[in-house]
Chains A and B, each alone.
Chain A
Amino acid sequence: MLLFLTGRILRLLTLLAAVSVLSFLLLEASPIDPVRAYVGADMLKVGPEQWAKIAEYWGLDRPLPERLARWSMAVLRGDLGVSMIFRRPVLDVIGERFLASLALMLTAWTFSGIFGFALGTLAGMKQGTWTDRLIKWYCLTLASTPLFWLGLLMLLTFAVWLGWFPVGLGVPAGVPAHEVTLADRVHHLLLPALTLGITGVAGVALHTRQKLVEVLQSDYVLFARARGESGLQLFRRHGLRNIALPVTTLQFASFSELFGGSVLAEQVFSYPGLGQAAVQAGLRGDVPLLLGVVIFSAIFVFSGNLAAELLYRLIDPRLRLKGDPCEQR
């Protein structure tokens, strides 16, 4: 276990190093001009000398290897620099935005997990019936629906037409920050989370269904039936036991799709999360923020995968007890 964890940590470190350097170089090669990002709307008022001064102030006139080295050293010290568009330390921006995104993603994740699992189980248990076909059809339709389109549909229906939810943003407009209640936040969160969750349902349901069908066709279920088990008892004793692990694992391993989806959902609903910040940083050439987001999302996705692997090792007896002579007797 210790070996496994050290291995994973090493892998994370190399991954982060590679991702950072690569994105640094990519941004370097892109037409983004960080000074322009900093100057923003004041562009016309800034002369070439000032321009050069700003570049010098940020160290942008240094050669590439030196800048990369300086930036890396800073990152190692935990300093991700200052966001040029927010004019605040990148870490602060990410921290704040990430909390908002996390709330959004967690809600969507839980929703798609529970709802998808239930649908998939139902379809798998009733394999070949109309219930199964209906659920499969629903999932396939859902899976081929673009998220932003679904988001717009939800907006039109629930926000514009029914008026149940606000049209966008993370908090009510025009209300001082300290007066924003938790209920306000939840109210703003629900629609984007639901949109993100609904698109996740299809994958979870189809995966659950497939796993359950596999399990139900297995020899051990055949033998369980030969012993007189059937229906719910069979599902509880063998079905649930054997699909729970692969399904939960996949749910954790899907953090990358979740993050990708949240970028879109936040865009559609103008929800002030990390994804939206990333899009802004990209569009407006905020290099430090963009690099920060990249590193952060890499860690996020990595921890999802790590959780998935850990789950297997801690729960699956075939991995948990392997090579442990005390347990093997």
Chain B
Amino acid sequence: MLMTKEAVRPLLEVSGLSVSFTQYTGGLRQKTIQAIVDLSVSVRPGEMLAIVGGSGSGKSLLAHAILGILPGNACVDGRMIYAGEHLTPVRQATLRGREIALIPQSVNFLDPLMRVGAQVRSSSLNGNGAAVQREIFSRYHLAAGTEQLFPFQLSGGMARRVLVATAAAGNARLIIADEPTPGLHSAIVRETLAHLRELSTAGRAVMLITHDITAALETADRIAVFYAGSTVETAPVSDFCGEGELLRHPYSKALWRALPQNGFRPLSGSQPSVDDLPQGCLFAPRCPFASPDCAAVQPELRPLRGGETRCHHAA
């Protein structure tokens, strides 16, 4: 199973992506704020990739960067290849909503004054919008009257289903799901994950951005671990087992061991602010294996045992 998936060419390949924002601080003094430093991920059709990282690691911005909907003061660098071609702003504009769909964090991303049915219809651009929308609503067990409701009338679970339906309604080949806002009932989260799994099984490429590693492990095929604006490891889900000896990066191992079922051994310290990054390896200040050259030279992301890692000493 895994082999056949490996054989398929990635639908989206992001490498060396960086995002920064220019801000004017009083008068004409400019300030650049780094948000994503060096991010590389890829996702294949039929695959579900989870991108896991602490809050403030710039995860949501990845989705916006892929869709090309970052604010005007954002500066994007790096390479994004979609279906074998560069993802230029012009291409992004034609693809978003058609080939690439977003599942946003919360119901606040729906227009508060517009009935939800009409909003879903906007994403199914081809064919009979109303019919497609009704079909998709019934597939997600949304009662017939739901399309007439306004976002504020939806319950948490209904809102989640409407948001997923919005992405599923079109023929998008790539679906990017931003993590649901925390505090949502766990049953609802599980249901959403199951829906995402279904979509990937049906041949779509699904990218789930989340801080909830347990949820990611339950549903995804591969995990990309995100630390201080960079990817530090990508690994198949099966590598997250035992004491984490199959994992390639000290941070992923630490994440794994910090889970309650694995002894709940949290890592001390906190992620460096993306504004004030250490010189060499970003993880060096907290890494138990750090050697002097770690703090001097930043490791590159390199392939290792069917995954990738950004660590000098990983083997």
Contacts and interface: CB of A to CB of B under 8 A. Distances in A.
Given A227-B166, A229-B122, A318 B96 contact: no
A242 B104 contact: no
A238 B113 CA distance: 8
A226 interface: yes
Contacts of B149: 329
Nearest to B70: A222
Contacts, number: 74
B113 A224 contact: no
Interface residues of B, number: 29
Contacts of A230: 93
B267 interface: no
B67 interface: yes
Nearest to A128: B72
Given A219-B104, A318-B152, A226 B96 contact: yes
Contacts of A61: none
Interface string A310-329: 00000011100100000011
Interface in B249-302: none
Nearest to A234: B122
A238 B118 CA distance: 12
A4 interface: no
A62 interface: no
B111 A238 contact: yes
B224 interface: no
A138 to B, nearest CB: 23
A223 B102 contact: yes
Given A225-B69, A227-B123, A241 B166 contact: no
Contacts of A219: 104, 106, 108-109
B292 to A, nearest CB: 45
Contacts of B72: 128
A65 interface: no
A86 interface: no
Contact of A241 (B97, B102, B114): B114
B153 A328 contact: yes
Contact of B109 (A220, A321, A329): A220
A224 B150 contact: no
B112 A220 contact: yes
Contacts of B314: none
Interface centre among A227, A229, A241 (most CB of B within 10 A): A227
A228 interface: yes
B220 to A, nearest CB: 22
A95 to B, nearest CB: 40
B11 interface: no
A128 B59 CA distance: 28
Interface string A1-21: 000000000000000000000
Contacts of B67: 225-226
Given A128-B72, A238-B111, A226 B98 contact: no
Given A223-B102, A223-B104, A321 B123 contact: no
Interface string B221-250: 000000000000000000000000000000
A237 interface: yes
Interface of A: 128, 219-220, 222-230, 237-238, 241-242, 245, 316-318, 321, 328-329
27 contacts: A219-B108, A219-B109, A220-B108, A220-B111, A222-B109, A224-B111, A225-B69, A226-B64, A226-B69, A227-B96, A227-B97, A227-B101, A228-B93, A228-B97, A228-B122, A228-B123, A237-B111, A238-B111, A242-B113, A317-B113, A317-B152, A318-B112, A318-B150, A318-B152, A321-B153, A328-B153, A329-B145
